[in-house]
Amino acid sequence: MKLRVALLAALVTATAAACGSGGGAAADPNAPLVVGVSPTPHGQILQYVADKLAPAKGLKIQVKEFTDYVTPNTSLVDKSLDANYFQHQPYLADFEQSHGVQLSWITAVHLEPLGLYSKKAHKAADLPDGAKIGVPNDTSNEARAFTLLADNGLIKLKPGVEASATPRDVADNPKHLQFVELEAAQLPRSLDDTDASIVNGNYALSAGLDVRSAVLVEKAQGNPNANGLVTRPELAGDKRIKELAELLTSPQVKDYIDQTFHGSVLPAF
């Protein structure tokens, strides 16, 4: 009898633990939202929201910074995070496909224009024949980089490859550019070793690169690469996720972005 009671107690305890598992917002509607971000500009923008706007709504936000483009999504999948804010929709779609997971895009917040930076050239015509060009090695941002070069006449791409372009998709390369594929975070440091490198806006900001000095800059109008808020499907309807989305796309945040980043980051709402 004692053994049966002990087994029953263990079963009840295990069931309660299972029902309470999941962490974060799903488990406790009064817990802070744990949101993963890249430090710049995402972390700055989210910290502004957490400090200046969220208290009026009774919303608590815990900001967790990451310096890569993979961990914020894997941490969201394993429920270490309730949401993240660091990526655009093409990157999210590629991550979902390559990792066999489903996440939920909530809203666009800002665009970080991709730029071609150089310590040796002031304009595209200054790039020498055979110039070494650093490009991001992740699928979506590499495609953006080649689209930037193609839009400015430095290369021509094969038809229909804009969303997935790699060096193999270059159809015409009149300057015989050589492409050096690097992790996005390494590209600012590569400028000493390349003739020019295409750098994501957040890493350009972190490295002190001024978009106004870039050789080429991605156009904002009609750009599909705005960064936004992402969560898991079961949290997409959570009240606090909705409140955070409203705050991130508020007039106050628009003014903060405009006044803080001077064109290196653009509101996408």
Between the alpha carbon of residue 99 and those of residues 68, 70, 94, the distances in Å are 16, 11, 8
**Where does 2-22+30-113+224-267 sit in CATH, by number?**
3.40.190.10
Q: Is 80 helix (H, G, I), strand (E, B) or coil?
A: coil
Instruction: Report, in angstroms and rounded to the nearest whole number, the Rg of the chain calculated over CA atoms.
Output: 22
What are the pLDDT digits (tens) for 188-232? Answer: 999 999 999 999 988 998 899 999 899 999 987 778 889 999 999
Hey, how many other C-beta atoms are within 10 angstroms of the C-beta on 98?
A: 9
What are the pLDDT digits (tens) for 106-137? Answer: 999 999 899 999 999 999 999 999 999 999 99
What are the pLDDT digits (tens) for 21-68? Answer: 344 445 577 889 999 999 999 999 999 999 999 999 999 999 999 999
Helix 89-99 to helix 139-151 angle (10° resolution) is 140
How far, in Å, CA of 144 to CA of 198, rounded? 9
Domain ranges for the chain: 2-22+30-113+224-267, 115-217
Whole-prediction pTM: 0.72
Query: Which residue from 185, 202, 244, 186 is spatially nearest to 44, judged by alpha carbons?
Result: 202
* Residue in the structure block whose two tokens are 């590209």: 187
As assigned by CATH, the class of the 115-217 domain is alpha beta
